[in-house]
A = this chain, B = another copy of it.
């Protein structure tokens, strides 16, 4: 890892920069989940963050770090997930244009969310190649700056502010665990634990059906993700080039969990904590519950990364029930 790229100062500066635009999210705990897990867990609720995910931090920092000229030309990204919403919202907050390329198969609810933030949505075939081609086309026309979802220095510094807050607000953490997809959150978390923590052990949870980070970590070389299959739709991407060496140097362990574990942990958090998290966000708790012996008698911080789920089905069913009551 290149020490010139990252420092405590740079993370602190990113934090000051984005502070007016983000929420300092609360830390919750649950007596009953503590009992079930046999350890003391602290949940940092980035599902309560703007746009419902930590992605707001990185997108905001990356956009604020652009030159005024680049900001005025606008930003672009391709994503069907939380990063799309984060770029759209961050651009809106400082009054600049955002172009979002989404696959034609993207759920309407996600397209609507991005459009609600005022971004211009373009559609393409649902392949990575088509996405990139479409982005290049649009950049040729509009000279937009591309904001990568994770393989970007300023994005990593932005995501690092989450663990920084966590450490500031809960000083006695012994362990910090977050999910890993592209590695923006995990690299940022590892950096903040290194610079601001008191020997905090950094652990990641990863779906077994998209375990490129685990494989790369084991073999100490970057292995791209191919054909991922998991309910954790935020964790399908390949680990970033910039992210990997930070993770290799500063993360203790990557724990894999299967989709059954993920859904069970998601349900536990919905039912016991009464908060909404998305499947990707349940991966760290699933990892803790799978290996309770690794976390016993610790103070474990879990980053709840996001809460964007499609609730159409639930509310359609509730409306149907209501019709039955009324009849």
* Chain A residues at the B interface, C-beta cutoff of 8 Å: 26, 28, 45, 47-48, 52, 209, 229-231, 259-260, 263, 266-267, 270-271, 273-277, 279, 307, 311, 313-315, 317-319, 321-322, 325-326
Structural contact, B52 and A274, CB atoms closer than 8 A: yes
- Listed residue (A28, A209, A307, A318) with the most chain B CB atoms within 10 angstroms of its CB: A318
Q: Is the CB of B274 within 8 A of A47?
A: yes
Copies of this subunit:
2
Q: With a CB–CB cut-off of 8 A, which chain B residues contact A317?
A: 313
Residues of chain B lying within 8 A (CB to CB) of residue A319:
263
Q: Is the interface of A mostly helix, strand, loop or mixed?
A: helix
Please give, as numbers and ranges, the residues of chain B lying within 8 Å of A273 by CB-CB distance: 48
Chain B residues with CB under 8 Å of A318's CB are: 231, 263, 266, 279
Assess the B325–A230 pair: CB atoms within 8 A. yes
Name A321's contact: one of B209, B231, B270, B325 (CB within 8 Å). B231
Tell which of B45, B260, B274, B314 touches A313, judged by Cβ atoms closer than 8 Å. Answer: B314
CA distance A231 to B26 in the complex (A): 31
Contacts of A26 in B (CB 8 A): 26
Closest to A307 in B: B274
Within the complex, the shortest CB–CB distance from A24 to chain B, in Å, comes to: 13
B-chain residues with CB within 8 Å of residue A48 when the two chains form the complex: 28, 273-274
Closest residue to A277 on the B side, CB-wise? B274
Q: What are the 3 A-B residue pairs with the smallest beta carbon separation, nearest first?
A: A274-B307, A274-B276, A47-B274
Contact flag A259-B314 (CB < 8 Å), given A48-B273, A276-B276: no
Chain B's closest residue to A230 (CB) is B325
Inter-chain contact B325/A229, CB cutoff 8 Å: yes
Known: A231-B318, A231-B321, A263-B315. A274 touches B274 (CB 8 A): no
Please state if B229 and A267 are interface contacts (CB–CB under 8 Å).
no
In Å, the complex CA distance between A325 and B228 comes to 10
Q: Choose from B263, B274, B326 the contact partner of A229 (Cβ within 8 Å).
A: B326
